Amino acid sequence: MKTPITRKQFLKISSGFAAAATFGFPNLILPRRKEKLGVALVGLGNYSHGQLRPGLRITEHCELRGIVTGSPEKIPEWQGEFGFPDKNIYDYGNMHQIADNNDIDVVYIVLPNHLHAEYSIIGADAGKHVMCEKPMAMDEAECRAMIEAAEKNRVNLSIGYRMQHEPNTQTIIRYGREQTYGRVTGIEAAGAFNGNFPEGDWRTIAAYGGGSLYDMGVYPINAIRYSSGLEPIAVTGVLSTERTEMFPDVDESAIFELELPGGIIGKGECSFARNMNHLDVSCTDGWYRLSPFLSYSGVQGETSDGTQLPPNPNHQQARQMDNDALAIKEGRPPLVPGAEGLRDVRIVQAIMESSRRGGERVEV
């Protein structure tokens, strides 16, 4: 069996492929022995524990081989379950040393929004492929810095838009692309839940990327874009907060419209104050909808001609991670690259600017 390449050897090899694809290693750079890619979770909060953890038990193309955490008390439980060695455990101060660990091929950033860019860049600079949760980052500049780091280090950067990997969602994307029910004429999407957050929760703090628009608004924004196949040219939006004691400096709710080419309007809504979960697409020759459209399971829908889109029983996050890992193994770009996350962050910022101007139209 061949000895795994070191970081220094990798850099020497990768410099000889300057004309290769922008994203991803050529297959020969990944050690052939690796049927599954090694993933290190960066951040062991609720999403890692409740969604990624069970997903990584059943993935076919990747497996958990390490963690990066600032909570030492969490280590025994994770290490006991997944069996990775002590050398694969890092904290936020020494994460850069992961560059020398051949067990780890991918870092998955599962941190509050304001930390996405910093640790994605550390991962890319360590020569590791990067999966990053949505929203991609705090602003356009951070998104671009993440994309540049991935390009410079010749690694894949994928954003955790699990819905684009979900089969019923992929079906309605195909409907729009193939105009199965005619040309899209209008879209309505809403993602919201009635939430109560403790003091200090990152969702309640602007500096951490909190607020309903960042956390939930990217779902309807992304849905309007993927169901139409169009990019907005302008937005209008209004952010509001009723429970100011819980959300002193972030939005509790947001209502917005994306102006698409051809006069098509995508209407979106998000909130931490009520429950909403639907995507409705109107077309010249019919309609189709998903309800719920963003839940962790049970995504289902129907169309105007009676076609039913029943729930897919498979694990969403496992499918997402496997698809991203397979793209790495095959040396191709991921389904949802950094450019996709950048577009949504740009729209989020435009909606916020529109709200500051009293709901004025803001070009994107």
d(CA 239, CA 49): 31
User: Are 333 and 308 within one domain?
Assistant: no
User: Are 181 and 239 within one domain?
Assistant: yes
Domain tally for the chain? 2
pTM (2 d.p.): 0.90
How is residue 327 written in tokens? 């793209």
Predicted local confidence at residue 306, as pLDDT: 98
User: Are 119 and 185 within one domain?
Assistant: no
User: Are 140 and 193 within one domain?
Assistant: no
Domain contains 1? no
User: Are 100 and 215 within one domain?
Assistant: no
User: Are 168 and 154 within one domain?
Assistant: no
182 pLDDT band (50/70/90 cuts)?
very high
d(CA 54, CA 127): 26
Q: What are the angstrom distances between the C-alpha of 99 and each of 7, 90, 107, 159, 362?
A: 6, 12, 11, 21, 43
In terms of Cα–Cα distance, which of 162, 153, 191 is closest to 18? 153
Torsion of CA 224, 202, 38, 169, to 10 degrees: -20
Domain contains 119? yes
Domain contains 57? yes
Question: pLDDT tens digit string along 143-157?
Answer: 999 999 999 999 999
Q: For residue 180, give the CATH number of its domain.
A: 3.30.360.10
User: CA neighbours within 13 Å on the CB side: how many for 169?
Assistant: 26
Q: How far does CA 43 lie from the centroid of its chain?
A: 15
Q: How many CB atoms lie within 10 A of CB 74?
A: 15
User: Are 50 and 77 within one domain?
Assistant: yes
Question: pLDDT tens digit string along 225-250?
Answer: 999 999 999 999 999 999 999 999 99
Q: How many CB atoms lie within 10 A of CB 184?
A: 23
User: Are 181 and 151 within one domain?
Assistant: no
User: Are 239 and 274 within one domain?
Assistant: yes
Question: pLDDT tens digit string along 116-134?
Answer: 999 999 999 999 999 999 9
Predicted local confidence at residue 10, as pLDDT: 35
Query: What's the mean pLDDT in 138-167?
Result: 98
Predicted local confidence at residue 8, as pLDDT: 36
Domain contains 109? yes
15 pLDDT band (50/70/90 cuts)?
very low
Please check the confidence at residue 25 and state whether its pLDDT lies above 70: no
Greater pLDDT, 195 or 26: 195
28 pLDDT band (50/70/90 cuts)?
very low
d(CA 315, CA 60): 12
Predicted local confidence at residue 114, as pLDDT: 98
User: Are 333 and 263 within one domain?
Assistant: no
User: Are 177 and 139 within one domain?
Assistant: no
Whether the CA torsion 319, 326, 138, 269 is positive or negative: it is negative
- Owning domain of residue 214: 163-313+345-363
Kindly report the three-state secondary structure assignment for every residue of the chain: CCCCCCHHHHHHHHHHHCCCCCCCCCHHHCCCCCCCEEEEEECCCHHHHHHHHHHHCCCCCEEEEEEECCCHHHHHHHHHHHCCCHHHEECCCCHHHHHHCCCCCEEEECCCHHHHHHHHHHHHHCCCEEEECCCCCCCHHHHHHHHHHHHHHCCCEEECCHHHHCHHHHHHHHHHHHCECECEEEEEEEEECCCCCCCCCHHHCHHHCCCHHHHHHHHHHHHHHHHHCCCCCEEEEEEECCCCCCCCCCCCEEEEEEEEHHHEEEEEEEECCCCEEEEEEEECCEEEEECCCCCCCCCCEEECCCCEECCCCCCHHHHHHHHHHHHHHCCCCCCCEHHHHHHHHHHHHHHHHHHHCCCCCEEC
d(CA 21, CA 156): 10
Please check the confidence at residue 26 and state whether its pLDDT lies above 90: no
Domain contains 96? yes
Please check the confidence at residue 44 and state whether its pLDDT lies above 60: yes
User: Are 218 and 118 within one domain?
Assistant: no
Question: pLDDT tens digit string along 336-354?
Answer: 999 999 999 999 999 999 9
Q: For residue 64, give the CATH number of its domain.
A: 3.40.50.720
Domain contains 267? yes
How is residue 84 written in tokens? 């990775």
